[in-house]
Structure 1
Amino acid sequence: LQLKKMVSKYKYRDLTVRETVNVITLYKDFRPVLDSYVFNDGSSRELMNLTGTISVGYRASCDRCWSQ
């Protein structure tokens, strides 16, 4: 689905589209999807959310971590 269609009923749809585009530009693995969200009162609504992975670089700085 097109992003604008996903958020067509949102109150702040232009802001939502702009911020979503900013995020998916930074995190290439993210993509918008529609999913059902259930509120505490039991009501539900189809909402757009982002799914994907944020890469985290890691480099060990300890070559003798298990020494006493």
Structure 2
Amino acid sequence: MYAQGDLTGNGLTDVVDVQSVAVHWGETAAQPVFDRWYDLDGDGAVTLADVAIIAGQWDGG
């Protein structure tokens, strides 16, 4: 994971990072398309909590 929720590595924490998580929303470790990169809180699923982590670090860029 990039610093401060910058999943795209473009130097900003922005809506594109939220979209990156949303693409994987609701997927679990049991599903083959699950990507742990987007499970920011490490709970084994991509959920609203992962989006909240990014939003909490959003710089408004």
TM-score computed with the length of structure 2 as normaliser = 0.28
Name the structure where strand makes up a greater proportion of residues: 1
RCO comparison, higher one (Cα < 8 Å, 6+):
2
Q: Larger C-alpha radius of gyration, 1 or 2?
A: 1
TM-score computed with the length of structure 1 as normaliser = 0.27
